[in-house]
Amino acid sequence: MWDLLLDVTVVEGPFLITVYVLAAAAFVYLLGRARSAAWVFTVFALVVTGALLGIALLWVAVMMLDAFGGPVSAAAWFWVPAVFAGILVAIWNLWRSRWWRKLVAVLAIPLFAFAGVLGVNAAYGIDRTLGDLLDIETAGPAPVPSPVPPETSDPAEPLYLTWQPPADLPDHGATGLVPGGIPATASGFDARPAQIYLPPAALVENPPALPLVIMMMGQPGEPDPYFIAQTLDAFAADHAGLAPIALVIDQLGDPNEDPLCLDTARGQVETYVMQDVVPWARANLHVQDAPRSMTVAGYSNGGECAAYFGAKYPEVFGNLIAVSPVEWPGAERNEETLREVFGGVQTAYDAVKPANIMAAKAPYADSVAVFTTGDDDAAFAPGTERLAAAAVAAGMQATFFAVPGAAHDAAALSGGLDEAFRILYPRLGLAAP
């Protein structure tokens, strides 16, 4: 029963609408305490005062304290003032009122706050379920992949030419927790459990070796395969069940901490990815392991990681997808990162910035990079464009794409992944050039 509740969708649908309706009904009831000019004036003053208080606190958190690592969604500037206005009205109803009005007022305070949280979350659309929002994992284990042949490599011919889908090919791929987990043997990094997407072609009795995508999500966030699974399932439906296997890993450990995808006192993330995850995938998944078949991908904080690993390790990852990426590790808190992680040594900090790595390793012999962002994402779009320009200058086959009508949200993520795999499918041998 608890898992069913945690799996409820909170970015759209009946649950979200119900919370909104209950909050609106409670607010209307609290407004109806009296029918007098004095009460109308009082309500007006309470709403304006509460809204201004909410705006002020949000402004301090965003502009002065940088509590969210950059600008927030426009929805936050509506919901936070609205919540504070509602709460102030509810508090006023606690005095000189009957017990049932007091009860409604007490219940309305957390209800207003919950509606506000859901409203802001729905605007981003990334944490789709209540479990996602609370960072509580409810996924079950994915199907156990078929045993890996002794040697796995790229096929002599592209798969789209040689693959013959069997009659029992599933209509959809499967997602879930990686069976047995990925041991952090080399790094000791305390990563949250990785999840995997297995396309239809990976679920048949004798599956072909498929390309591999290693994906990382944003901060705060979790290794959720929902978005990349949706994208790849749609591509698989149009390509006889063929799609990459996608391994969605955790580069954060603590969702409130940013280890920068590096080896630092915050965690040995680079070692985890390159010495734990990559070798595990090659040993346990039926994947093609040539660089042109290996893709590192990410969104937001994970996009920063994808740009870093794709730039630094072209001999492993021939392709990178950076969706709405942070421009370099810790760019949102540049001075703090320089001081706390790099001891104030600017040259050490500059050395881990993807654009600088690209310039140092240029020219790239055979790397494809796709950089995307929402065209309404004023905070992340300029840095994404600079990364794309740096990749072009370094000799990568790089593309920049702005997702129409998207901000720093689920629309940007889905649209970015769609465009990236449209570009990569022929290179991965899954579609004709």
Tokens of 306: 């994808």
Count of C-beta atoms within a 10 Å radius of residue 378: 12
Distance CA 201, CA 278 (A): 21
What structural domains and CATH numbers belong to the chain? 2-124 (no CATH), 145-427 (3.40.50.1820)
On whether the CB atoms of residues 54 and 76 are closer than 8 A, the answer is no
- In angstroms, the Cα distances linking 54 to 40, 60, 218, 413 are 21, 10, 26, 29
User: Which of 400, 368, 404 lies closest to 385 in space, CA to CA?
Assistant: 400
Which residue reads 């870093």 in tokens?
308
The partner residues of 337 in beta bridges, in order of sequence, read none
Tokens of 346: 């600017």
- In angstroms, the Cα distances linking 185 to 144, 254, 265, 273 are 21, 19, 17, 11
Distance CA 163, CA 302 (A): 32
Tokens of 361: 């390793």
**Confidence grade of residue 156 (pLDDT, cut at 50, 70, 90):** confident
Span 393-400, average pLDDT: 98
Residue 71, pLDDT > 80, answer: no
On whether the CB atoms of residues 285 and 399 are closer than 8 A, the answer is no
What secondary structure letter does DSSP report for 202? G
The pTM of the full predicted model, rounded to 2 decimals, is 0.91
Q: Count of alpha carbons within 13 Å of 152, Cβ hemisphere only?
A: 23
The partner residues of 287 in beta bridges, in order of sequence, read 210
Helices 354-361 and 381-393 pack at an angle, to 10 degrees, of 10
**Confidence grade of residue 68 (pLDDT, cut at 50, 70, 90):** confident
What secondary structure letter does DSSP report for 146? P
Distance CA 172, CA 236 (A): 8
* b/e per residue 241-259 (b: at least 16 CB within 10 A): bbbbbbbbbbbbbebeebb
Which residue reads 């901000």 in tokens?
407
| Interstrand relation of 263-264 and 267-268 (parallel, antiparallel or unpaired) | antiparallel
| Portion of the chain with pLDDT greater than 90, in percent | 81
pLDDT tens for residues 161-174? 999 999 999 999 99
pLDDT tens for residues 318-373? 999 999 999 999 998 899 999 999 999 999 999 999 999 999 999 999 999 999 99
Distance CA 340, CA 281 (A): 33
Burial of 404 (0-12, 13-18, 19+ CB in 10 A): exposed
| Average pLDDT for the chain | 93
**Residue 320 has what pLDDT?**
98
**Residue 63 has what pLDDT?**
77
Residue 119, pLDDT > 70, answer: yes
User: Which of 406, 386, 373 lies closest to 300 in space, CA to CA?
Assistant: 373
Distance CA 426, CA 61 (A): 45
